[in-house]
């Protein structure tokens, strides 16, 4: 800095020599000298050009052989370090204000008299000066009369301060390799390959714009991958959020300051979380132009999968996509889980395909729970996973809290065996598909799809709850009233949104009364039939592609399109319960906390009334409220009253004799 200021003082001395009185030189001896030669200025500049390291050397390389730019830099540095420089510069060029003009710099560089010959150098200097020093400080129309100055960032840069430009400090961070390993769980091979390609491109085409595009979901580890590649190449990074570029009213000035920081500090720029917007392509193209003009390091762009940037990338473009799927999930769980919980990694990976950032948040939640004295088991970890995933993505589905387990479900042995097979399909999927190598052979059709068919009230919904509780996965009921739409294409659009979001969290999708989207395809007679068939075909395809669990309930299996049956893995047929099952349902329906009278005749209730499990549930609930209203234990009279009300509600024809020896209770 001092040498630049010294060169500036010499140039100013040469300019003022013979133009001002000797007393001016006497008044500012710390700035001006009478025995200065142009050769001394040239010698100082030559020493600065030969320096290979240091912040000043990075700055002065922009000057090249442009004497006007060199002079401008020297005078600005002189003005910064010497108090007497400002009034002297005002003598040379009145109205400079707080900076130095290109005209002053040109005169100090030796252009005197007519300045026509200085115009080319001044124009070339103006372009670099605009990049280094920012927008001119005055409203002068003539470019060579506007004043440039040093902003806060440049002051910190020249003073060897280690800080970010205040303009973007809140949205950016720096990273420099500290020698520690960067955990690239599940993407080690991809990172190694990308680093090798980057090294080859930099060797073949040094100095040319090189863009590294890393795609993946938010929190998937894109910045981790960028840091790992940078570590291979020894590149320091400056990372900034894309939202900062889109959220400012002056994106051009923001980009200038970002690229300037990268250029002066020899850092590679990383733009994080690039999302789709109306300005995305425009901003990225402008950034590439500015970055390629002034920076020699690669440009890293971290984009969401739906952002298509490859067609607009200039120069060489290297791409990498963050791996997904159960294999990548297993690597993440094994990498981030504490050693004592690592044995659960396979089971968690088969159920939860979270991103790297989400897994880390779950692990932090486990640490907090452990310190608080809570038990950390797989069910608790799954609960934390869904808390992390609950970001408002489920607009057309409703979370259902499972209230039953498999012991509560009264079904025959055949259906119970099928339920256990379904559980095994979920819990052992990693072993079968990845451990035994069937994932590539079965690239689609891995969805665990189940149809639950039977009359209303026979236990279909209860079984769905019990299955979700057994697996420890969250159950989401698809709200068909929000999904099915009369407008063409809207139903498919909403179904696609449901499946795409469900894929990220491996939740159980439950379609109740699924006839609305799975009814048999009809002969095409008009446009309505055509689009109805399209909806059926779409959901067939989407179920086949889904990698999770889909449960579909229907009251009439005959209404389901035959093409669905080919793609369905399991069918559970529910029948009206027999007498023995009805008695078990009656006995278990009250629960342990309800006070019961001793006169309840369970065998009679099971024998006399051929009811479904749903009907029995309604009757029991009403009977409990009758007893609570009277302040009495639930007795047979309460149950008979509830049975009668249920029969009249459903318009069953029942005679007094149907109530046997308890008919008298109806008259109480």
Residue 11 domain flag: yes
Which pLDDT band holds residue 438 (cuts at 50, 70, 90)? confident
Among 657, 661, 662, 631, CA closest to 642 = 662
Residue after which a domain boundary falls, among 539, 554, 573: 573
Written as six digits, the tokens of 303 are 């984009």
Residue 398 domain flag: no
Residue 622 domain flag: yes
- pLDDT, mean of residues 143-161: 79
- pLDDT, mean of residues 628-639: 91
What pLDDT is stored for residue 529 in this prediction? 46
For 162-202, the pLDDT digits (tens) are 667 877 888 888 999 888 889 899 999 999 999 999 999 99
- Say if residues 536 and 558 touch (Cβ distance below 8 Å): no
What pLDDT is stored for residue 667 in this prediction? 67
Question: Are 517 and 641 in a shared domain?
Answer: no
Question: Are 631 and 562 in a shared domain?
Answer: no
CATH of residue 601's domain is 1.10.8.60
CATH of residue 263's domain is 3.40.50.300
Question: Are 611 and 628 in a shared domain?
Answer: yes
What pLDDT is stored for residue 199 in this prediction? 93
Residue after which a domain boundary falls, among 573, 597, 626: 573
Virtual CA dihedral for 461, 467, 468, 470, nearest 10 degrees?
140
What pLDDT is stored for residue 29 in this prediction? 78
Question: Are 525 and 593 in a shared domain?
Answer: no
Q: How does the average pLDDT of the chain come out, rounded?
A: 82
Min mean pLDDT across 36-45, 385-394, 431-440 is at 385-394
What pLDDT is stored for residue 228 in this prediction? 95
Question: Are 525 and 585 in a shared domain?
Answer: no
What pLDDT is stored for residue 96 in this prediction? 64
pLDDT greater than 50 at residue 299: yes
Among 211, 269, 263, CA closest to 238 = 269
Question: Are 212 and 302 in a shared domain?
Answer: yes
- Per-range mean pLDDT, top range of 35-39, 493-497, 597-601: 597-601
Split into its structural domains, the chain has a count of: 5
Q: Biggest alpha carbon distance in the chain? A: 132
What pLDDT is stored for residue 668 in this prediction? 60
Residue after which a domain boundary falls, among 293, 321, 349: 321
pTM above 0.85, yes or no: no
The residues, any chain, with a CB within 8 Å of residue 545's CB and separated by 6 or more, are 444, 447, 499
Among 552, 557, 610, 551, CA closest to 586 = 610
- pLDDT, mean of residues 268-277: 91
- Say if residues 245 and 271 touch (Cβ distance below 8 Å): yes
Which domain, by its residues, includes 19? 2-158
Contacts for 483-488 with beta carbons within 8 Å, 24 or more apart? 483/396, 483/517, 484/516, 484/517, 488/531
pLDDT greater than 60 at residue 525: no
pLDDT greater than 50 at residue 530: no
- pLDDT, mean of residues 27-54: 77
pLDDT greater than 60 at residue 393: no
Give CA–CA dist 100/104, Å, rounded. Answer: 7
Residue 376 domain flag: yes
For 229-261, the pLDDT digits (tens) are 999 989 999 999 998 888 776 778 888 999 999
Residue 396 domain flag: no
In terms of phi and psi (left: phi > 0; alpha: psi -120 to 50; beta: otherwise), the region of 299 is beta
For 582-603, the pLDDT digits (tens) are 888 888 888 888 999 989 999 9
pLDDT greater than 90 at residue 210: yes
Question: Are 205 and 148 in a shared domain?
Answer: no
What pLDDT is stored for residue 483 in this prediction? 63
Min mean pLDDT across 152-161, 202-211, 225-234, 521-530 is at 521-530
Which pLDDT band holds residue 650 (cuts at 50, 70, 90)? low
Percentage of the residues of the chain whose pLDDT score is greater than 90: 20
Residue 399 domain flag: no
What pLDDT is stored for residue 297 in this prediction? 92
């Amino acid at each position: 800095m001092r040498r630049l200021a010294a060169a500036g003082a010499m140039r100013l001395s040469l300019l003022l020599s013979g133009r001002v009185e000797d007393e001016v030189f006497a008044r500012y001896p710390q700035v001006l000298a009478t025995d200065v030669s142009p050769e001394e200025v040239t010698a100082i500049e030559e020493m600065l050009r030969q320096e290979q390291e240091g912040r000043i050397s990075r700055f002065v390389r922009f000057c090249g052989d442009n004497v006007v730019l060199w002079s401008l830099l020297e005078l600005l540095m002189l003005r910064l370090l010497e108090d007497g420089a400002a009034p002297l510069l005002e003598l040379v060029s009145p109205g400079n204000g707080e900076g130095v003009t290109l005209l002053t710099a040109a005169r100090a560089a030796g252009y005197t008299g007519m300045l026509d010959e200085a115009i080319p150098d001044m124009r070339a200097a103006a372009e670099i000066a605009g990049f280094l020093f920012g927008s001119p400080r005055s409203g002068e129309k003539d470019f060579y009369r506007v004043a440039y100055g040093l902003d806060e960032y440049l002051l910190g840069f020249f003073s060897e301060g280690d800080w970010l430009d205040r303009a973007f400090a809140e949205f950016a961070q720096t990273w420099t390799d500290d020698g520690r390993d960067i955990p690239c769980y599940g993407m080690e091979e991809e990172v190694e390959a990308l680093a090798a390609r980057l090294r080859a491109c930099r060797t073949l085409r040094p100095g040319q714009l090189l863009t590294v595009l890393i795609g993946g979901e938010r929190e998937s580890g894109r910045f981790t991958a960028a840091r790992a590649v940078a570590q291979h190449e020894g590149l320091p990074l400056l990372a900034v959020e894309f939202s900062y570029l889109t959220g400012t009213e002056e994106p051009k000035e923001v980009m200038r300051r970002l690229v300037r920081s990268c250029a002066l500090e020899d850092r590679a720029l990383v733009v994080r979380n690039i999302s789709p917007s109306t300005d995305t392509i425009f901003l990225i193209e402008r950034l590439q132009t500015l970055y390629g003009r002034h920076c020699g390091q690669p440009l890293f762009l971290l984009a969401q999968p739906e952002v298509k940037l490859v067609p607009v990338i200039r120069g060489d473009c290297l791409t990498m996509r963050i791996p997904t799927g159960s294999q990548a999930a297993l690597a993440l769980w094994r990498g981030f889980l504490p050693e004592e919980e690592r044995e659960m990694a396979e089971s968690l990976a088969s159920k939860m395909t979270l991103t790297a950032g989400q897994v880390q948040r779950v692990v932090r939640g486990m640490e907090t729970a452990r310190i608080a004295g809570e038990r950390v088991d797989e069910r608790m970890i799954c609960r934390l996973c869904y808390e992390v995933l609950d970001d408002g993505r489920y607009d057309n589905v409703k979370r259902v809290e499972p209230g039953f387990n498999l012991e509560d479900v009264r079904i025959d042995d055949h259906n119970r065996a099928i339920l256990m097979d379904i559980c095994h399909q979920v819990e052992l999927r990693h072993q079968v598909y990845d451990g035994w190598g069937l994932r590539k052979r079965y690239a689609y059709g891995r969805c665990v799809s189940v149809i639950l068919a039977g009359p209303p009230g026979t236990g279909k919904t209860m079984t769905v709850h019990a299955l979700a509780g057994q697996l420890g996965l969250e159950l989401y009921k698809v709200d068909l009233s929000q999904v099915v739409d009369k407008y063409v294409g809207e139903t498919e659009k909403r179904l696609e949104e449901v499946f795409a979001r469900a894929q990220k969290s491996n939740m159980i999708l439950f379609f109740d009364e699924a006839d609305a989207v799975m009814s048999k395809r009809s002969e095409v007679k008009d446009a309505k039939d055509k689009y109805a068939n399209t909806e059926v075909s779409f959901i067939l395809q989407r179920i086949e592609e889904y990698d999770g669990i889909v449960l579909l309930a229907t009251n009439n299996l005959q209404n389901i399109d035959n093409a669905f049956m080919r793609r369905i893995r399991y069918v559970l047929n529910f029948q009206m319960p027999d007498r023995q099952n009805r008695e078990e349902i009656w006995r278990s329906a009250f629960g342990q906390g309800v006070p019961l009278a001793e006169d309840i005749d369970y065998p009679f209730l099971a024998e006399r009334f051929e009811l479904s499990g749903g009907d029995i549930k309604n009757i029991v609930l009403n009977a409990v409220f009758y007893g609570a209203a009277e302040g009495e234990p639930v007795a047979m009279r309460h149950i008979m009253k509830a049975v009668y009300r249920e029969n009249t509600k459903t318009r069953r024809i029942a005679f007094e004799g149907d109530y046997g020896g308890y008919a008298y209770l109806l008259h109480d």
